[in-house]
Amino acid sequence: MEASLHSSLRRIEKAVSRKAQAKAQALTLGEELARSEAPPDAPVEPSATPRPRGSGRSTRQLVAAAQLELFKMEREGHIDVLPAVGVGNEFPIPICRFPIFPPISEEKQQELLEPRTNALVFQGPFGYGKRHGPKVTTRHEDVLIALLRLRNNHVRGLPRKLPIPIAFTRQELDGAEGRAGRPERVYVTLCTSTEIARELGWASTGSKNLNAIKACVQDLAGVSIEINYRTEDLHQRYLPDFTPGTTFNLLHVIWDAYGTPGLFQIQFNPLVTHWLEREFTYLNWNVRRKLVRATSKALFKFLSTQPYHYCRELEWLAKTIGWPGGSKRWRETFSEAAQELVDVGWLERFHISGTGRRTPFKLHTTRASDNPADTA
């Protein structure tokens, strides 16, 4: 009991220390920025925190200047700000088990959209739902993973006081004030397109690639999702406080945040924050960045939620990852995807059993045991 208490105190002390260090670093950079912008003979107050303008500054300076704005909101009593600690390969399980980012092109998705709502309808073993908005692919999902890995602030405050104020639908409200009267916790990412490109492992950070990243972020901000689990227990676990049928966004974004050209402020939905803290798996980012095939990425994402030894029917897997190809192509498609996972060292071996007639095709996989990033 006493040892556990000491351990908890040490964790709290470390978190407080990290927060103080982050503030000190941001304030120091803020003073440097102020001096760099002032006329040569003009006096600069040490506590000055000028509105960042973004011209000719490094990525580090841009982010630090925006960080000052968050600390200002905290000083004014609107929010509580803590560093996002322990950020790594965490990825929400619900996104792994529903084909929100199917491994098919935008053109192919267009053929599958529901005519009335223009939404992508999906049904699988875990439940069913719809994805509204832009036609996002595994390319967009790569950018989402990068944004999650770059999250650098953990913010708590009333919905209307958050860095990007949020509103709730009547379906989501409970009680007299509802969720609008309760503090929410969100992760906030302050970053630039250049940082995202580096996180993605792209060799070039030219304007073409940076514009492609911005387009992906715009698409992600426009996506809204409706998920319905097949059992009440699963719904309460993964969608607490949400009435079945409610749609939600994954994230909200401010372009040129705090007047800084090229700076994104991305705020993840409170539900995504809940998933990242309680309902997540580990997605090996080093492996994901090596994969080329979209089906390999989708299969890898799903298998990351499963045991090291796994077996499933190909028809079941096709529905789960959102691959719409016919049964004649199942064996070939999943063999190619699994082989790429072997080639990059994530799977040790695989084989497909069955004839596809009397006995269904089944994929049998064994993960390699030397992937420490799978669990950190």
Q: What is the pLDDT of residue 144?
A: 98
Q: What is the pLDDT of residue 241?
A: 80
User: What are the structural domains, with CATH classification, of the chain?
Assistant: 90-283 (no CATH), 293-375 (3.30.1370.230)
Helix (H) or strand (E) holding 350: strand 347-353
Q: What is the dihedral of CA 137, 139, 144, 150, to 10 degrees?
A: 180
Stretch 80-96: mean pLDDT: 89
Look up the pTM and report it.
0.81
- pLDDT at position 353 over 50: yes
- pLDDT at position 81 over 70: yes
Q: Which region holds residue 50: left if phi is over 0, alpha if psi is between -120 and 50, else beta?
A: beta
pLDDT over 90, % of the chain: 60
Distance CA 70, CA 267 (A): 12
Distance CA 243, CA 376 (A): 33
- pLDDT at position 197 over 50: yes
**302-334: burial string, b at 16+ Cβ within 10 Å, e else:** bbbbeeeebebebeebbbbbbbeeeeeebbebb
* Beta bridge partners of residue 265, listed in sequence order: 190, 254
Answer whether 103's CB lies under 8 Å from 321's CB. Answer: yes
Helix (H) or strand (E) holding 366: strand 362-367
- Give the confidence band of 374 by pLDDT, cuts at 50, 70, 90: low
